[in-house]
Amino acid sequence: MSDEFKIYLNSKIGKRNKNLEVLASFFESNELEILKEKSISIVGTNGKTSSAFYLNEIFTKNDISSVLFTSPHLVDVNERIKINNEVISDEEISFYMDDLKQFESKNNIELAYFEILFLTSCKLFLESKADYFIVEAGIGGLYDTTSILNVDTVCITNVNYDHMDLLGDSLEEIFHQKIQISDNPKRIIFGDPNLYKVHKTYVHDKFDLTDKDIYLNDLESQNRMNLNFGTALKIFESIITNFHEDKTSTVESYPKVPGRFEEVSENPIKIIDGAHNASSFETLVSFIEENHSTRDFDIYIGMKKGKNIIEFMNKIFTKNFNQIYLIENDSFFEQTKTSDFENYFNANGLTYKVATIGDFYTSKNPSILTGSLYLVGKYKKEYS
């Protein structure tokens, strides 16, 4: 990207997304209508990026053009936006900088990092005239930056406890927040069929939808990646009337999602995964236990500020890992300090060691690096 845009974008790091009321005015009314009709919003606690990734791959396989917007990135910010399955260029990501600056000045606001990249992705989609725009929501739904699209097609992967300070203390509250990513969707796809069963009455009271407008992921599997792939297939089926995707296809026939259950070494086996809450960690453990025992693994943990440390650590200690390491302070963006873990360890009479990301890389033991996608991204940037 241009040096000017890099400085501009980096100056927004840490800024809060707080301009929801004016963001839609960045677009003309006809552009908003196109975005509404052609965008697919993917919300949920876990599996958003993976479902979006697989949907994009399915579109590519079926010669359907698309733009993909996901977050966060692992190594390079350009990764957040793909046009026809190609990461955008430095020129493309910088192209709307002047427009963004003028928008800030006109509205007397300061855009946040996420807002800039999202608005850029929308403009690139409109410019590309692609068939579909796949949009992974940030946090929640009702007050999420991406909600300005008010899309016709909503997918909700699942709901678990995360970001409770913003979304509410109960699963019901969290669901209500996430599902309201759009005011009037024409179709909703549920990655977890049970979620629809629990909230069916609310969904039909809230939205003008019939049973035919509801699509349930019918792929049964204990493997989370298979379920995310099934969710992507169901989205595809809901919007493409002449459905040609081979339903016998499996997740193994598609590329793997970077940073999810990613094996970076075979001997010794080493796995990096961005699990950052108890639910996603359970999924990671299930993946490992298909072929291994967690007792054989060292685990290296680093978490982003604001995450539920206690709930996450409770899950870890039920699995009796060989050795627990906390990644040393200031290793990645907005990292929780190791001292924040100390009360938990002391209260439970447990011990840990402090290690670097490099220690994970050089270790001769089977190991797992987890707790944050920012941590996984830092590893990939330095050692992949």
**Residues 309, 315 contacting (CB under 8 angstroms):** no
Cα dihedral 306→142→134→101 (10° resolution):
-80
Report domain extents, the chain.
3-253, 262-383
* pLDDT higher than 60, residue 245: no
The pLDDT tens digits of the residues spanning 100-150 come to 999 999 999 999 999 999 999 999 999 999 999 999 999 878 899 999 999
DSSP summary character for residue 169: S
Strand 269-273 to 367-370 pairing: parallel
pLDDT averaged over the chain?
92
| 168 against 201, higher pLDDT | 201
- 259 Ramachandran zone, left/alpha/beta (phi>0; psi -120 to 50): left
Three-state DSSP at 192 gives coil
Contact 80, 115 (CB under 8 A): no
- Would you say domain 262-383 falls under CATH 1.10.1040.10? no
pLDDT number for residue 164? 56
The per-residue pLDDT for 116 is 98
Query: Residue 176's pLDDT is what?
Result: 93
Rounded percentage of the chain residues whose pLDDT exceeds 90: 77
pTM of the predicted protein model:
0.93
Is pLDDT above 80 for 215?
yes
What percentage of residues in the chain have a pLDDT greater than 70?
A: 95
Tell me the pLDDT tens digit for each residue of 49-88: 999 999 999 999 999 999 999 999 999 999 999 999 999 9
Average pLDDT over residues 324-344: 94
304 CB-near residues (< 8 Å, 6+ apart): 276, 333, 334, 335, 336, 371, 372, 374
- Confidence band of 200 (pLDDT split at 50, 70, 90): very high
Per-residue confidence (pLDDT) for residue 323, from 0 to 100: 95
Mean pLDDT within 326-342: 95
Radius of gyration for the chain, computed over Cα atoms and rounded to the nearest angstrom = 21
Length of the chain in terms of residues written: 384
Residue 268 has pLDDT above 60, yes or no: yes
CB atoms within 10 A of CB 4: 11
- Provide the pLDDT for residue 248: 47
- Give the per-residue pLDDT at 320: 87
Looking at domain 3-253, its CATH architecture is: 3-Layer(aba) Sandwich (3.40)
Residue 246 pLDDT grade (very low, low, confident, very high; cuts 50, 70, 90): low
